[in-house]
A and B are shown apart, each in its own frame.
Chain A
């Protein structure tokens, strides 16, 4: 079949796929803010436990431990055994990989053709739904949701996770179709990461820790709240309380949250690295301007890509070990919640803690994980730079259309000049982000390093869009009059 294209696979599903209507008119700024925040809040609210299974969070059975703990931050997954079990992972992975394949011409899509674009985005949607179904049933089969489930339970778990998945796709679609700001995936990720950060620092929920520390104790989830409690508690001495607040590994500790905050500050700093190219108009003389080329040219998307690969590899290992009944031999349950693979299957698993776990159990990870993350993120960064419509060629074309030229360069040399600037930028962005994420993960952040990097870069990308929209709306916003500062949303 010579004429067959992969996107045609989506065609039979089109009539039954729910599809959000595009807005008739451009929405006012305030409406967009409301839509975005409502959807974000709804997403956070929907992290309910799955009905129909044992969800007290403490398991005696090893295989019920959580093998995805290091992916929960970056893909905005809910806590283990909630209906947001897989969060945005199916959506992000299908979108990023399909768009990458289409850009590399491995999938034939003619983006100039409206029919093709519709088929392509419907294909993304269908692949996401299938990923939700496949992942749910893989995890049911491995016994993650409990052994010996009845048929009714299996159906209920499927219903809850897959329906939530479909609603998540639709929520993302609402924001994407310009009811909200920019990209739904990114809005939700930023909101979820911010919430988790506040939860990790100031979370007041008390959690029963008797199974990990012995005795009948509860500790607060928030690291800072925990410190204040430890100082007043009779359980610890003064020093012991402080040490425990900085070193406990079953809940967020102060070291953990300070490293996350530090990464936040560093990425904010890097975000403002740029190379300025002096440009001038070919029409009016003597007016020079600057066109900044950012170091983080492809933002956090390269980290998404690395973690999608890590997730796919580790989930395959998880499936393989369960099929071959080796999971009891190669997985250990830590802190009664985390399912951690043993050598040689832990090479791409971020360690639970820097010391002692990284050194005693997975010393090779120290080498393999950073190399893997940095190489994949650089490779992706370069590819994405070329395909995303911001390649040197595209920008040279934009310059030409707007009669802009680079000062001191002939018109023909613009593309080459831009290439000399943008290509290193993409490489540098992949390098530094890959580097800081691997460093953070090796220090035992359990996925929060990747989460915060993606959230900060997405936050900046959205902030830019919000600011532009705000200026376009002429600053007429009832919300900003109430709240004060413009553009403070993200």
Chain B
């Protein structure tokens, strides 16, 4: 009961959600998602390369900073354990 009232208040298309939650229309549900994906605007190669470069450098950079700290652990562990 609580669930049905909650989803009734949750969204506009609640009957659909309800059907999906109860497993009546999982296929329809997947279709909805897949058709969205096919209609999406995808990044082109140039954009993608730019993103990968920026994010990759940031990610690895942070990783290296973090790992530098983690390296301190090796001697500390050796000393204290």
Contacts and interface: CB of A to CB of B under 8 A. Distances in A.
Are A and B co-members of a single complex? yes
Interface of A: 37, 40-41, 44-45, 47-49, 55-56, 103-106, 190-192, 194-199, 202-205, 264-265, 268-269, 271-276, 292, 295, 378-379, 382-383, 386-387, 391-393, 415-416, 419, 421, 423-425, 427-428, 430-432, 455-456, 459-460, 463, 485, 487-490
Given A419-B13, A489-B62, 6 more contacts: A104-B3, A194-B59, A199-B70, A386-B10, A393-B12, A459-B55
Contact of B63 (A45, A197, A419, A487): A197
Nearest to B44: A272
Contacts of B51: 268, 271-272
Contacts of A199: 63, 67, 70
B63 A198 contact: yes
Nearest to A416: B12
Given A272-B43, A431-B33, A41 B65 contact: yes
Say which size band chain B's interface belongs to: 35 or more
B78 to A, nearest CB: 11
A199 B63 CA distance: 8
Contact of B67 (A37, A40, A202, A485): A202
Q: Which of B7, B11, B57, B61 has the most CB of A within 10 A?
A: B11
B11 A419 contact: yes
A198 B56 CA distance: 12
Interface in B8-40: 9-13, 16-17, 20-21, 29-30, 32-37, 39-40
B35 A424 contact: yes
Q: Which of A423, A430, A455 has the most CB of B within 10 A?
A: A423
Contact of A40 (B20, B52, B58, B66): B66
Contacts, number: 166
Contacts of B33: 378, 424, 427-428, 430-431
B40 to A, nearest CB: 4
A273 B66 contact: no
A265 B47 CA distance: 13
Contacts of B72: 45
B51 to A, nearest CB: 6
Contact of A105 (B5, B16, B48, B67): B5
B81 A56 contact: yes
A432 B33 CA distance: 9
Contact of A490 (B6, B36, B37, B58): B58
Given A104-B10, A415-B12, A419-B12, A45 B32 contact: no
B70 A273 contact: no
A295 B37 contact: yes
Contacts of A455: 59
A171 to B, nearest CB: 15
B37 A272 contact: no
